[in-house]
Amino acid sequence: MKEEIIVSGRMNLNIDPVLHIWHWQIPLYLFLGGLAAGIMFFAALYTIQGKEKQYQTAVKWSMFLVPIFIVLGLLMLLLDLKHKLYFWQLYTVIRLQSPMSWGAWTLMIVTPIALLWCLMYIRDLLDLWKGKFKLTNGLIEFAYKKLDRYKWIDTFIAFLYKYRKVMAWLMIFYAVILGIYTGILLSAFNARPLWNTSILGPLFMVSGFSTAAALIMWMSKDYNEKKAFGRIDLILIATEVFFIIHMFMGFLASTEVQIEAARLFLGGEFTAVFWVFVVGIGLVIPALLESLKLYGFKIPVFLPAFMILLGGLMFRFIMVEAGQVTRYLY
Amino acid sequence: MRYAMAIDTKKCVGCSDCVVACQTENEVPIGYCRDWIVEVTDGTYPELELEIRSERCNHCDNSPCVRCCPTGASHYSDGGSVLVTHNKCIGCGACVSSCPYDARYSHPKGYVDKCTFCNHRVKKGQQPACVSVCPTRCMYFGDLEDPNSEVSKIMKLRKYKTLAPEAGTKPQVFYLI
């Protein structure tokens, strides 16, 4: 039997014994990015289909979370940078070869679109919240006053509303790009065999959309909307399972380093966390609960929704962590 | 011009002089290294084979680190050496993740750092620090496109390999075997 013992004198911080250059910030950023992309996708989709009345949570209310998610995500990205004061260098060039570069630019485009969308429905939000909470009453009064004082805002909102379908088409396009980007960011690195699979783009997008559908389902107060998003989630979960199986099939049919990468999940150190948290709690159990619900069982909505969100978050943490363990040499 | 390095694994004794020379010359922060020694023992006792390599950035022709860099801080310099412009680097770690040789590290000051093929010495016509101190003279540095350079001459005489060629990076540090 051939044996090999390797001794290396290198002990660079965060590089050895295994790469650990990306910590908790990146998976959280990918999670928030996927969630934002999913919410924008559904909001745009139902606007294009003209179903704003039926799907109010998807089109209006959940969209108010998107700018918050994006800002939080960008904050995570900033926290991850080691040369923080130079972050603006990202916006001095567009490098199409580098996913991180065009991802940063995509966020730059997506954020104003999301903010304009929120502005479009600001009066609806104010009407909804009026007199609901003592704490925010003053703020809402203030917002009303400003809106009444500056009439051009209403004119602008009316203009936005008139062209909302154009905005929706733009948003659906960039939502897909943002969703795929969260996966491509990792799959561009051929040095990390676990990440180096083109299915990671679609997989992360579907997973992001599924977490968004879960969140909308959780937020919604409308029975039909809840039911519709429960169904959407079922389809997305099935797609995700299909992609995960394909990912492993691809790995096992590939080169030695990718077979090693797959082994991390098939008996290796990430087996338990992956199959319990991602596949079990994140996909299979919520899918079962959703199916039971369709047959009339009474199941609280937060249960499957929370599980899907947790599963999505865990999936990103595990992929980022495990990917850094896989390598070509030693 | 294409700078390259050839390292004779039959002559290298793993003394780490190249490592110390590099750390001194380039003021590498304590605890880090831009080049390092790897000892690989192959086979089953008593039939063992030892290979000692002095490894560093491979200054690849198809560098994933240059491709992944979002700001263009990682770039190809004269002679194909891969360098990092410190005040363009945001410290995102994309290049660190993209390198199959793990040749890069995050400098305590924030930017990414790595072997430069001693760009500042080569410009003055000197050899890289590691090459210049090697007590067994197992390292050869020069222009691959010049048939009379030391590195071209030795590579005509000897068999050689590169590290992880399957990663598709076209490394330019060659190991004589």
pLDDT tens digits, one per residue of A231-277: 999 999 999 999 999 999 999 999 999 999 999 999 999 999 999 99
Residue A114 has pLDDT above 80, yes or no: yes
Which residues in chain A have their CB less than 8 angstroms from residue B113's CB? Answer: none
pLDDT tens digit string along A25-79?
999 999 999 999 999 999 999 999 999 999 999 999 999 999 999 999 999 999 9
**β-strand partners of B44:** B47
The residues, any chain, with a CB within 8 Å of residue A297's CB and separated by 6 or more, are none
Which residues in chain B have their CB less than 8 angstroms from residue A14's CB? Answer: 96, 105-106
B165 CB within 8 Å of a chain A CB: no
pLDDT of residue A1: 57
Average pLDDT score over residue span A130-153: 88
Average pLDDT over chain A, rounded to an integer: 94
Q: Which residue of A has its CA nearest to B29?
A: A12
- The 8 Å CB, 24+ separation contacts for B155-161 are B155/B6, B158/B6, B158/B8, B160/B6
pLDDT tens digit string along B5-60?
999 999 999 999 999 999 999 999 999 999 999 999 999 988 999 999 999 999 99
Chains A, B: CB contacts within 8 A come to 160
Share of chain A above pLDDT 90, in %: 89
Which one of B33, B96, B101, B115 makes the best mutation probe of the A interface by having the most chain A beta carbons within 10 Å? Answer: B96
B100 CB within 8 Å of a chain A CB: yes
pLDDT tens digit string along A190-220?
999 999 999 999 999 999 999 999 999 999 9
pLDDT of residue A175: 97
Cβ contact B33–A9 (<8 Å):
yes
Which residues in chain B have their CB less than 8 angstroms from residue A90's CB? Answer: 70-71, 90
Cβ contact B38–A8 (<8 Å):
yes
Model confidence at A133, pLDDT cuts 50, 70, 90, reads confident
To the nearest 10°, report the CA torsion of A103, A109, A111, A115. -160
Which one of B69, B85, B90, B162 makes the best mutation probe of the A interface by having the most chain A beta carbons within 10 Å? Answer: B90
Residue A189 has pLDDT above 60, yes or no: yes
Rounded-to-integer distance, Cα A191 and Cα A183, Å: 16
Q: Looking at the partner chain, which of A4, A10, A82 has a beta carbon nearest the beta carbon of B41? A: A4
Which residues in chain A have their CB less than 8 angstroms from residue B89's CB? Answer: 83, 86, 89
Q: Return the closest-CA partner of residue A270 out of A214, A321, A306.
A: A321
Alpha carbon of A16: minimum distance to chain B alpha carbons (Å):
9
Residue A164 has pLDDT above 80, yes or no: yes
Cα atoms in the 13 Å half-sphere on the side-chain side of A143: 14
Share of chain A above pLDDT 70, in %: 99
pLDDT of residue B45: 87
- The 8 Å CB, 24+ separation contacts for B74-80 are B74/B112, B77/B119, B78/B1, B79/B1, B79/B2, B79/B3, B79/B117, B79/B122, B79/B143, B80/B1, B80/B2, B80/B3, B80/B172
